[in-house]
Amino acid sequence: MKHAGTQPSADTPLLRQYQRIKAQHPDHILFFRCGDFYEMFFEDAKVAARVLGIALTRRGTDANGEPVPLAGVPYHSVEPYLAKMIRAGYKVAICEQMENPRFAKGVVKREVVRVVTPGTVVEENLLENKANNYLVGLVLEGERWGLAALDFSTGEFSITQFEGPSASATCQAEIARLQPAEVVLLAEERAAIELALNWQASQAELGLGAETGEPTREGAAEVATRTPEDRPAIAALEGSMPLARARELLVRHFGVHDLSGFGAEDCAAGVRAAALALEYVRETQRAQVAHLTQLRVYQPGEFMMLDATTQRSLELVANLTDASRRHTLLEVLDHTATAMGGRMLRAWLLKPLRSPERICERLDAVGVFVGRGVVRAQTLEALRAVHDLERILSRAVLKTANARDLVALRASLQQVPKLRALLREVLTEATLLQRLYEEMDPLEDLVSELVAALVDNPPVSVREGGLVRDGFDPKLDELRAIAGDSKSWIAAMRQAEIERTGIPNLKIGYNKVFGYYIEVSNSHLDKVPPTYIRKQTLVNGERFITPELKEKEEIILHAEERIQELEFEIFERLREKVCQQARQIQRTAAAVATLDVLVALAQAAVSGDYCRPQITPHGPDAELRILDGRHPVLESLDLGQPFVPNDTVLDHRENQILLITGPNMAGKSTYIRQVALITLLAHVGSYVPAREARIPIVDRIFTRVGAMDQIARGQSTFLVEMSETANILNNATDESLVILDEIGRGTSTYDGLSIAWAVVEYLHNTKGRRPLTLFATHYHELTDLEGILPRVKNYNVAVVEEEDRVAFLYKIVRGATDRSYGIYAAQVAGLPRAAIRRAKEILQSLEEGSGVHVKPAGGRSRAGEETLQLTFFDVLEHPVVERLRAVDINRMTPIEALALLAQLVAEVKNSRGSS
Ligand code: ADP
Ligand code: MG
């Protein structure tokens, strides 16, 4: 925010200090600590008042005699306000008082200690505890992308890069997986990156200024909602980041000789991206980044690729209805006991492995816990006592962790010996468990120090004492004795004074203004000795002090102040010790999280009656075979009847493409998704909902499911459908699994059928691009392909046709359906019987090619019937048809289409009304 020109200069020392600091943070909202409040002045005050819905007041005047706008929030409950600012797209600079105001000479020293941005928050309330919060660094070098994923709240830091013609698409899929809260890039590359990732539209939609990316002041208040998941906040850094400088930054940060220890030599673009992210967090977090202890390099090919559409339409971690976790694969599997395990499970689901060895390592470990119920239950119980070690550690590094955090850390680490003991019983049965056992460090020294030092239930504040146990620090014990003695001295004094003066209700109290005082009620004032010095008159009595009382007060207050300071010092030392163990704590945390996920997957397998999939390599002989497969999410819901399991066989010889036909609501979509989900789960290293499953390694799963609502993207639905289909045809390989649901539904029948037909042919015939495919379609004409293309097989969902209705069996059987059952669907939906009967008549006539017999209105006799040769245009001959012909659907947004539809409907109704 630049308002140097318009902002008046201030004429108090405090405002002068404010403006000096604000000048260094023109783009941030400055939360300026004043006593118990964070205050905002000038423009910032107006923005804060609007975004936070707090009162805008005035304080004093500036140099021009104008009142200074002011808004404030209480420091002890700042988090929700911070959250609102961040979600509205602002960055907040936190400016603290750096000395105790009581001892300050002149204006209290203040400094910005941290800038909070969407990608760097660590506050518990600003984060979802079972999801990562990524800051992504991005660089683009021609056709090469470098990507760094940094979760500042946990210390996870990894890099990769993408090369070649499809690098942008791969990078985009990776970003969709990470769902970063914020992306940091170079200002000079911004336009190119936004273009390549399709982010241009975000500016206008979010009310962001086109050049700066900072929210426009007007726009932001209205759009005070979360940034859409696929368009993170953007931080554009000025200047450049040459490789040499990037290397140096990282080498210095990690304290290593070179980056070869991380295996990062061949990842130059990734290194540059990491340096961008690191520079950004160092700048915003004032160098408090000690928990970034390691850089991990990964290859894009390590994981099965899931583009954004596939992630969404398979409802892996967010559902299509409200983007929440409800009814997602994650929800069904999430039996994790810790937040860390929850985050890891989520990450695993979005990063299925492609190495059969690594998958089997996980399966072996899951299998151990499937087979051993007691160990599983005991492990789960120990895990339940483990807190979020990763985020506690990050808060410790940022000095925002309090004593409760360290007590939680202590309690968590105390579980580690129990977990190791449980692992020891089973570690010969799975190499992964052996490794976890070795990686878990109980950190005994740290734990015993924390046990000795910290009380069990410390207060939230770390500056007001009450944190440290008696007997831990001799100096502290001494001060406590002094303060305690003096307090009992005061109690004794009261007793003595009551006896000496004969005032039975004499009281000794304390307040901040007078310190300790003696209070006497009006009725006994005559007994007050002359040595008492009067300080204050109340309605019911008077307050006095005496010199000896003041002497003791001095001792008590001094001791208490010293106690608070000393306790804080001790606490800070402990926090520092925790930070020194960052690497070991992180390793332990990762091992505990992994164990948590493995146990959770075992729990899911047991409660869902899943089987261990057999993983086979990819190749021409690969076969995907599922016996009695189920949809993991649907089967967990109450459908009013048991879920019907189904078999699947896909291979490259005869069963490459399965065409699935059947009436609406028969279970086609469910079936093809369940195959995708089972395949994905197998790659995650999970057991799968089936009686038996043989799953070959797959490089990608593609889906094109349903006519999704893409209004937010401002593109026509059909265009989206086609671009997603194009993505599949261009990128699917022999190793891919493709799920197509109702391709071509978004356009006219003949167009749609032709496109669907061509898509099947392409997937069947193009060498190198012959993915295993499941194709659910309402075009029963497509079933003719089985006779023509050797690797296409027809299946349909069995139904029983009774007299007047269709009963669904949800059983997939070999063969084609010869009809679309649309009329049955209409009947199920409750169309009147007469209309249904009539529709059947018309259908029959059309199928016979004999035209439709038009009934005269109200007439029952056949005499008045005419025959109408039916074509589309005949039916539609109406003035609006002319207008419809002029419409180009592909160039319309869904909103425009809706508007046009509304208009046409209104016209039709009007013409009815007037005729
Ligand atoms: P289609 O795609 O053929 O229109 P869906 O796959 O959307 O049908 O399924 C419609 C509904 O049928 C589901 O919401 C579910 O309630 C039920 N259903 C689908 N498959 C099964 C099954 N295998 N067992 C039991 N109910 C099922
Ligand atoms: Mg369907």
Q: Is the pLDDT of residue 831 over 90?
A: no
Write down the pLDDT at residue 422.
97
- Between the CA of 132 and the centroid of ligand 2 the distance, in Å, is 33
In the three-class reduction of DSSP (H, G, I as helix; E, B as strand; rest coil), residue 468 is classed as strand
- Between the CA of 741 and the centroid of ligand 2 the distance, in Å, is 7
Query: Among 211-225, 236-250, 724-738, where is mean pLDDT lowest?
Result: 211-225
For residue 661, give the ligand nearest its CA. Answer: 1
Q: Is the pLDDT of residue 592 over 70?
A: yes
The span from the CA of 580 to the CA of 582, in Å, is 5
In this prediction, residues 636-644 reach a mean pLDDT of 91
Sheet order of strands, 646-651 included = 614-616, 692-696, 623-629, 646-651
Write down the pLDDT at residue 716.
63
Q: Using most ligand atoms within 8 A of CB, pick from 314, 319, 628, 634 the residue to mutate for ligand 1.
A: 634
- Hey, which bits of 789-847 come out as E strands? 792-801, 806-814
Given pLDDT bands bounded at 50, 70 and 90, which one contains residue 713? very low
Q: Which of 222, 224, 203, 205 is nearest to 214 (CA)?
A: 203
Write down the pLDDT at residue 339.
95
- Between the CA of 812 and the centroid of ligand 2 the distance, in Å, is 14
Question: How many other β-carbons are positioned within 10 Å of the β-carbon of residue 385?
Answer: 14
In this prediction, residues 556-567 reach a mean pLDDT of 91
- Between the CA of 315 and the centroid of ligand 2 the distance, in Å, is 15
Ligand 1: which atom is nearest the Cα of residue 637? 16
316: Cβ contacts below 8 Å, ≥ 6 apart: 306, 328, 329, 330, 349, 350, 680
- Between the CA of 839 and the centroid of ligand 1 the distance, in Å, is 25
Per-residue pLDDT tens digits for 39-75: 999 999 999 999 999 999 988 777 778 889 999 999 8
For residue 327, give the ligand nearest its CA. Answer: 1
The most confident of the ranges 251-255, 441-445, 725-729 is 441-445
Q: Is the pLDDT of residue 358 over 50?
A: yes
Ligand 1: which atom is nearest the Cα of residue 645? 23
Mean pLDDT of the residues in the chain = 86
In the three-class reduction of DSSP (H, G, I as helix; E, B as strand; rest coil), residue 447 is classed as helix
Q: Which of 652, 656, 650, 658 is nearest to 679 (CA)?
A: 650
Q: Whose CA is nearest to atom 10 of ligand 1?
A: 665
The span from the CA of 506 to the CA of 523, in Å, is 11
- Between the CA of 7 and the centroid of ligand 2 the distance, in Å, is 60
Q: Which residue has the higher pLDDT, 610 or 830?
A: 610
- Between the CA of 192 and the centroid of ligand 1 the distance, in Å, is 44
Write down the pLDDT at residue 819.
64
Write down the pLDDT at residue 385.
96
The most confident of the ranges 259-273, 417-431, 796-810 is 417-431
In this prediction, residues 698-705 reach a mean pLDDT of 91
Q: What is the DSSP string of 692-716?
A: EEEEE--SBEEEE-S----GGGTS-
Q: Whose CA is nearest to atom 16 of ligand 1?
A: 639
Query: Among 214-223, 281-290, 643-652, 655-664, where is mean pLDDT lowest?
Result: 214-223
Write down the pLDDT at residue 11.
67
240: Cβ contacts below 8 Å, ≥ 6 apart: 186, 188
Q: Using most ligand atoms within 8 A of CB, pick from 327, 637, 670 the residue to mutate for ligand 1.
A: 670
Q: Is the pLDDT of residue 321 over 80?
A: yes
Ligand 1: which atom is nearest the Cα of residue 666? 3
- Between the CA of 512 and the centroid of ligand 1 the distance, in Å, is 71
Nearest 5 degrees, angle CA 172-CA 178-CA 183? 75
Given pLDDT bands bounded at 50, 70 and 90, which one contains residue 803? low
Q: How far, in whole angstroms, is CA 777 from its chain's centroid?
A: 34
In this prediction, residues 386-413 reach a mean pLDDT of 94
Write down the pLDDT at residue 823.
73
Write down the pLDDT at residue 154.
92
Q: Which residue has the higher pLDDT, 905 or 608?
A: 608
Residue 74 in tokens: 């209480």
- Between the CA of 682 and the centroid of ligand 1 the distance, in Å, is 23
In this prediction, residues 600-620 reach a mean pLDDT of 96
Q: Whose CA is nearest to atom 20 of ligand 1?
A: 667
Q: Which residue has the higher pLDDT, 511 or 253?
A: 253
Ligand 1: which atom is nearest the Cα of residue 634? 15
Ligand 1: which atom is nearest the Cα of residue 664? 4
Q: Using most ligand atoms within 8 A of CB, pick from 665, 808, 813 the residue to mutate for ligand 1.
A: 665
For residue 629, give the ligand nearest its CA. Answer: 1
Q: Is the pLDDT of residue 215 over 50?
A: no
Per-residue pLDDT tens digits for 481-536: 988 888 888 889 999 999 999 999 999 998 878 889 999 999 999 999 999 999 99
Q: Whose CA is nearest to atom 19 of ligand 1?
A: 667
For residue 825, give the ligand nearest its CA. Answer: 1
In this prediction, residues 788-801 reach a mean pLDDT of 90
Q: Is the pLDDT of residue 207 over 70?
A: no
- Between the CA of 631 and the centroid of ligand 1 the distance, in Å, is 10
Ligand 1: which atom is nearest the Cα of residue 642? 25
Q: Is the pLDDT of residue 781 over 70?
A: yes
Given pLDDT bands bounded at 50, 70 and 90, which one contains residue 855? low
For residue 797, give the ligand nearest its CA. Answer: 1
Write down the pLDDT at residue 663.
81
Given pLDDT bands bounded at 50, 70 and 90, which one contains residue 913? low
Q: Is the pLDDT of residue 865 over 70?
A: no
Ligand 1: which atom is nearest the Cα of residue 639? 16
Per-residue pLDDT tens digits for 294-311: 999 999 889 999 988 899
- Between the CA of 671 and the centroid of ligand 2 the distance, in Å, is 9
In this prediction, residues 9-28 reach a mean pLDDT of 86
Q: Whose CA is nearest to atom 23 of ligand 1?
A: 644
Write down the pLDDT at residue 820.
57
For residue 667, give the ligand nearest its CA. Answer: 1
Write down the pLDDT at residue 201.
54
Q: How far, in whole angstroms, is CA 503 from its chain's centroid?
A: 66
Q: How far, in whole angstroms, is CA 180 from its chain's centroid?
A: 8
Taking the model in full, what pTM does it have? 0.82
Given pLDDT bands bounded at 50, 70 and 90, which one contains residue 698? very high
- Between the CA of 672 and the centroid of ligand 2 the distance, in Å, is 9
Ligand 1: which atom is nearest the Cα of residue 631? 23
**561-583 burial: b if 16+ Cβ within 10 Å, else e:** ebbbebbbebbeebbebbbebbe
For residue 745, give the ligand nearest its CA. Answer: 2
- Between the CA of 704 and the centroid of ligand 1 the distance, in Å, is 18
Q: Is the pLDDT of residue 773 over 60?
A: yes
Given pLDDT bands bounded at 50, 70 and 90, which one contains residue 712? very low
For residue 645, give the ligand nearest its CA. Answer: 1
Per-residue pLDDT tens digits for 893-902: 777 788 888 8
- Between the CA of 675 and the centroid of ligand 1 the distance, in Å, is 14
Per-residue pLDDT tens digits for 111-134: 999 999 999 888 877 888 888 999
Write down the pLDDT at residue 752.
83
End-to-end CA distance of the chain: 61
Given pLDDT bands bounded at 50, 70 and 90, which one contains residue 851? low
Where is 842: in which H helix or E strand? Answer: helix 833-848
The most confident of the ranges 428-437, 745-754, 870-879 is 428-437
Pocket around ligand 1 at a 6 A CB cut-off: 634, 639, 643-644, 662, 664-670, 810
Ligand 1: which atom is nearest the Cα of residue 668? 3
Where is 150: in which H helix or E strand? Answer: strand 144-151
Q: Is the pLDDT of residue 746 over 70?
A: no
Q: Is the pLDDT of residue 223 over 50?
A: no
**734-749 burial: b if 16+ Cβ within 10 Å, else e:** bbbbbbbbbbbbbbee
Q: Whose CA is nearest to atom 26 of ligand 1?
A: 643
* Length reported for the chain: 915
Ligand 1: which atom is nearest the Cα of residue 630? 23
The span from the CA of 561 to the CA of 704, in Å, is 67
- Between the CA of 737 and the centroid of ligand 1 the distance, in Å, is 21
Write down the pLDDT at residue 242.
95
